[in-house]
Amino acid sequence: MKSKGSKYTLLLGTALLGFYLQANSIHAATTTSSNGQPVTDNVTPLVQTNKDEASTPQATTDWADPAQYQHDVPVQILGINDLHGGLETTGSATIGNNTYSDTGTVARLAGHLDSAEESFKAANPTGTTIRVEAGDMVGASPANSALLQDEPTMHALKAMNFDIGTLGNHEFDEGLAEYMRIVNGGQPVKQYNEAAMAYPHVKSGINIITANVVQKSDGQIPFGMQPYLIKEIHTSDGKVARIGFIGIETTSLPILTLYDNHKDYDILDEAETIAKYDRILRKKGVNAIVVLAHTGVSTDKEGNTKGNAVDIIKKLYQIDPNNSVDLYIAGHSHQYANATVGSVKLVQAIYTGKAYDDIIGYIDPTTDDFVKGSLVSHVYPVLSEKDAPNVKTDANVTAIVQDANRRVAPIINKKIGEAAKPGDILGRLHNTATRENAVGELVVDGQLYAAKKAGLPADFAMTNTGGVRADLHVNNDRSITWGSAQAVQPFGNILRVVQMTGAQIVKALNQQYDEDQAYYLQVAGLHYTYTDQNDPNQPYKVVKVYDQNNQPLDMQKTYNVVINDFLAGGGDGFSAFKDAKLVGIVGQDTDVFIDYITDMTNKGNLITAPVMNRKIYMTAAQLAGETTKHNEKDQSATQSVTTQTDKVVNQPTAPVVVIPATVEQPANTVQLNAESMRKAGTNNASVNNSLTNLTPVGLNSRTNRPTNKQAILPQTGDNDELSWLLLGTSLMSMTGLTLIKRKRKQA
């Protein structure tokens, strides 16, 4: 009986342990998406970066051999993203390991697209070229487009034969209705400047598709847009093939545009929406599928490709490992990318017309799918006439730009001020290591000045760097024009003065340091020190904040802060601004910046680049050294007071306020770093009492949701599963001990 009992106990323990492991394995392998579809967690497609070493399609050696695809349909996809009305925008473009200078302008872009198409058709006489865009064609535009409601940009796209596009976040800048008006060539429904009202309102011919933007009222896609488009291709030799395009908006839209512009819409999950319409297209027999998605990605010089678009494709594979998506044209992050995720080609062509995507493949007309191995993707720079004299600048597009310039010239060429010296004051493409830039700080200096001028005394000003769009161009005679200032602040956002506590301000500053500092602030009226912390979701924390009089920020005191209405709505994820109480309205940011330059010039304060010392990074060791020096100074001052009472001595400086890390805790609790507080020599009660409404470790401090970088740390486990595990393990252990004891007795 004892022998059999031990065996039964062992069997029972093993069975229970196996039951637990099986249940846990199933749980780990499959979860459910928000639309009820199963998501298989163990499907992880390989990410492989594709090399871009050639600067032109003609110099590329890895195109598929057309001779191998005589029975198939040749297709070329030419794509762009994030044009932002950059009719004449130029700059450097880094693609792979190569950096090209003086790239861009729509006239040069048009010439390069034509050259790429000619090269393709020379090798594939029956081929078809389709031109597409992945959003943000308009918005944050220079004056020659923005002053004309971006209609010159739509005219240029029409002249370049763009056929299909999707929505970016900037298509919502003036409301989706206004964007659809300029797409369709309708008459303005609002009164704009005289030049804009007189500009020709012409239909662009672009089919705008979006699958995941739906009206909250009825779940329908607005303005009659379609979720996908099927393009039927007829070749000159009688072949017919079909290719499907799906349009996708970023789910980050609510933090990227004003509340009134997105409040009527739901933005559905990107991967789930792609999977849904991928299935629909396959049921229709369409298996060659292209996604146009305004979601970011980047490929660095080390060959690493990462970003939201990669995560979306990985999730798509989890939802449907057998999906038929072949190509994903990305946008939004303004960076270069060329990779293959699973079997999906993924590209992004920087921004403002500095580069373009060129993808060539062959569709089997019997399956309506790309022949395996035939699809090749590349990204090329839009080279200047000097660097590519064989590429013709498009005359029609040039005429569109020149016409726009003529119409807005009286406005943009007006002198508004002077700089102390010639040469541009540089912006966000020339950030310091601490994410400061000269023109950004000039902007917030102007906003702080404007608030006080309007009778709304403000302590600080902060703006999102995404709203500071360009360098401030200064002419050789040191003059600054209206157009140069407008290019820096093109949105016309409303500036408001709001009340915030010191703790709320610190929270906003700390929100710069999640998401790899993708979103950060330019600040005026304060300066601060930040240091490292051991949290992959937020690797830095703010530890000292001072006002312009070098006084430490009081966590409980209320301050007046100038922000724009984009930030007031939690834009760029700065949720700390959302609950701030409105004190008053200053005006539009564009007008404020222009007026600031004029006022300073009239007062004899010629415009100069600010000294960028408002964000100071220190290592933990440097910070500890500063604190030690400070304490020694305090001690020395105290001794001096006690030994020299008959002399006037300097009072010790105010104690340093050490702010705990914003690895935030649940509401109404504070977890201070005791060691850092001890080193800082402070036990400031106001710090303890004011830092509330904080978020648990592992959550995004903006959304209170698990971050993509790291899931919430595991808890002690599910009680039911743990009970089975412990019971099974205990029974097996008891059996083992019983057997050992019996053997000893027998011995």
Tell me: the pLDDT tens digits for 622-668?
A: 988 876 666 665 555 445 433 433 333 333 333 334 343 332 332 32
Q: Do residues 342 and 300 make contact, with C-beta atoms less than 8 angstroms apart?
A: no
Chain centroid, CA 84 distance in Å: 15
**pTM of the shown model:** 0.72
Q: State residue 288's pLDDT score.
A: 98
3-state SS, 610-676, equals: CCCCCEEECCHHHHHHHHHHHHHHHHHHHHHHHHCCCCCCCCCCCCCCCCCCCCCCCCCCCCCCHHH
Residues 6+ apart with CB under 8 A from 74: 66, 120, 124, 126, 127, 128, 360, 361, 362
How far apart (Å, rounded) are the C-alpha atoms in residues 204 and 183?
Answer: 5
How far apart (Å, rounded) are the C-alpha atoms in residues 285 and 366?
Answer: 10
Q: What is the pLDDT of residues 233-261, one digit of tens each?
A: 999 999 999 999 999 999 999 888 888 89
Residue 387 has pLDDT above 90, yes or no: yes
Tokens of 371: 């022949």
Average pLDDT over residues 194-213: 97
Calculated CA dihedral for residues 590, 592, 593, 599, nearest 10 degrees:
140
CATH topology of domain 43-401: Purple Acid Phosphatase; chain A, domain 2 (3.60.21)
Q: Do residues 140 and 491 make contact, with C-beta atoms less than 8 angstroms apart?
A: yes
With CA atoms as reference, report the closest residue to 83 among 53, 51, 110. Answer: 110
In DSSP terms, 722 is beta-bridged to: none
Domain boundaries, the chain: 8-36+714-747, 43-401, 415-617
pLDDT band at 12 (very low <50, low <70, confident <90, very high): low
Reported as type and span, the H/E element at residue 144 is helix 143-146
Mean pLDDT check: name the lowest of 189-198, 410-419, 448-457, 735-744: 735-744
With H, G, I as helix, E, B as strand and everything else as coil, classify residue 374: coil
Q: What is the pLDDT of residues 79-95, one digit of tens each?
A: 999 999 999 999 899 99
Percent of all residues in the chain with a pLDDT value above 70, rounded to a whole number:
78
- Please report the sign of the dihedral spanned by the C-alpha atoms of residue 691, residue 697, residue 700, residue 704: negative
Residue 719 has pLDDT above 50, yes or no: no
Q: What is the pLDDT of residues 474-511, one digit of tens each?
A: 999 999 999 999 999 988 888 999 999 999 999 999 99
How far apart (Å, rounded) are the C-alpha atoms in residues 434 and 521?
Answer: 11
With H, G, I as helix, E, B as strand and everything else as coil, classify residue 399: helix
Q: Do residues 647 and 515 make contact, with C-beta atoms less than 8 angstroms apart?
A: no
With H, G, I as helix, E, B as strand and everything else as coil, classify residue 527: strand
Q: State residue 688's pLDDT score.
A: 32
How far apart (Å, rounded) are the C-alpha atoms in residues 529 and 545?
Answer: 7
DSSP 57-85: GGG---S--GGGGTTSEEEEEEEE---TT
How far apart (Å, rounded) are the C-alpha atoms in residues 96 and 49?
Answer: 10
Alpha helices in 413-501 (DSSP H): 438-453, 482-488
Q: Are strands 344-349 and 376-381 parallel, antiparallel or unpaired?
A: unpaired
Q: Are strands 615-617 and 526-532 parallel, antiparallel or unpaired?
A: parallel
Residue 400 has pLDDT above 60, yes or no: yes
Q: State residue 587's pLDDT score.
A: 85
Calculated CA dihedral for residues 640, 645, 647, 649, nearest 10 degrees:
40
Q: State residue 611's pLDDT score.
A: 95
Residue 168 has pLDDT above 60, yes or no: yes
Average pLDDT over residues 346-358: 97
Q: What is the pLDDT of residues 27-43, one digit of tens each?
A: 334 444 555 555 555 67
Q: Are strands 289-293 and 240-248 parallel, antiparallel or unpaired?
A: parallel
Q: State residue 727's pLDDT score.
A: 52
Neighbours of 20 (CB within 10 A): 20
How far apart (Å, rounded) are the C-alpha atoms in residues 267 and 254?
Answer: 9
Q: State residue 228's pLDDT score.
A: 98
Average pLDDT over residues 211-233: 98
**Superfamily the domain 415-617 falls into:** 5'-Nucleotidase, C-terminal domain (3.90.780.10)
Calculate the average pLDDT of the chain. Answer: 84
Calculated CA dihedral for residues 464, 665, 684, 627, nearest 10 degrees:
-70
With CA atoms as reference, report the closest residue to 309 among 223, 225, 250, 243. Answer: 250
Average pLDDT over residues 577-606: 94
Q: State residue 734's pLDDT score.
A: 54
How far apart (Å, rounded) are the C-alpha atoms in residues 587 and 580?
Answer: 18
How far apart (Å, rounded) are the C-alpha atoms in residues 334 and 349?
Answer: 8
Q: State residue 263's pLDDT score.
A: 95
With CA atoms as reference, report the closest residue to 341 among 372, 324, 317. Answer: 317
Residue 674 has pLDDT above 80, yes or no: no
Q: State residue 277's pLDDT score.
A: 98
